[in-house]
Amino acid sequence: MQLKEKVIFITGGAQGFGRGVAEAVLKKGAKVCIADVNADLGEATTRELQASSGPDYVLFVKCDVSDATVFEDAFKAAVSKFGHIDIMCNNAGILDERIWEKQLEVNFGGVVRGTMMALNHMRKDKGGRGGVIINTASIGGLLPSFWFPTYAGSKSAVNHFTASWANNPDMKSAEVRFVSICPSGAETGLLESLQDKILNYDHFKQFMERSKYCRVDQVVQAFLLAMEDDTINGTAITIKLKEGVQKVKMSLVPIE
C-alpha cells in the first residue's frame, strides 16, 4: 500500500511506538489520527506534528480503548474529519500486574474493539475501501514471561486473535489484512518504573541489561513494512536488537 494520502488511526499515539509511527507515516504523505487517553500529551504531540505536516494532516482524539462508547466516538470523529480510515493501529497498552483486569481490558479488549470497528468500516464486501489492521503484541506474547503473566497472556491473545482473523476466508473478499507487531523490550514509557508493577523485578532488570533493548526506530520500520507490503497477512513481525525485523507466519491449523 502506498501511504501518500492514506489515513492511519493510532491508539496510544501520543508517545513511544505510536508517536514514532505517526511521524514516519506523515513524512510519507499520510494523514494521522492520534488517539490517546492522555489528553495533555496527545494535544502537545499533535501541535508539534501539525507544525511540520499541517493541521489538515493530524487530528487528536481523547480515547480510552477500554471504554467501548468513548472508543467508538473517537473513531467516528476521525472518519468525520478524514472521510475514511485505511490503516488501524491498535497500539495502546499498559504493563501493570497489580491491575490485571484493567491490563486485559486495555491490551486485549481494546484490540478487539478497535479491530471490529475498523473491520466493519474497511471491508470491501460491505462497502468499504479495504485496508490493514495492525495490532501491537509483544515477544512476551510468543514466549513464557514469568515477570508479567497477565501482560504476556494479553499479548498472546492479541497474536492469536489477529492471526485468526487473517485466516478467515471471508477476508479475501473483504480485502483487509491483519498483522501483529511483536517487539522485545524497547526503551519507551511502558518499561519505565516497573519495580512495583511486575514480578521478580531484580531478575527482570538483570535480564534486560544482558539482552539490551530493541530500538523504537526498528519497531517503526516493522509497522511500515506491515503497511506497505501487501503480501504480509496473518504474520507476527518480531523485532529484536540483534536480529532486527523478522516475520513469523501464523498458519491455520487444518481441521480434518
pLDDT digits (tens, 9 = 90+) for 47-94: 999 999 999 999 999 999 999 999 999 999 999 999 999 999 999 999
The C-alpha atoms of residue 245 and residue 247 are separated, in whole angstroms, by 7
Please check the confidence at residue 110 and state whether its pLDDT lies above 80.
yes
Does the pLDDT value for residue 250 go beyond 60?
no
* Residue 30: closest CA among 85, 73, 79: 85
Architecture label for domain 7-241? 3-Layer(aba) Sandwich (3.40)
Which residues contact residue 10 at a Cβ distance below 8 angstroms, ignoring those fewer than 6 apart?
18, 21, 22, 32, 33, 34, 35, 89, 91
Average pLDDT over all residues of the chain: 91
Mean pLDDT of 8-22: 97
Length of the chain: 256
Grid coordinates standing for 106? 486495555
If you search the block for the grid coordinates 519505565, which residue do you land on? 192
**Is 200's pLDDT higher than 70?**
yes
pTM confidence score: 0.92
Q: What are the residue numbers of the active site? A: 151
Amino acid at 101: E
Tell me the residue type at 130: G
Extents of the domains making up the chain: 7-241
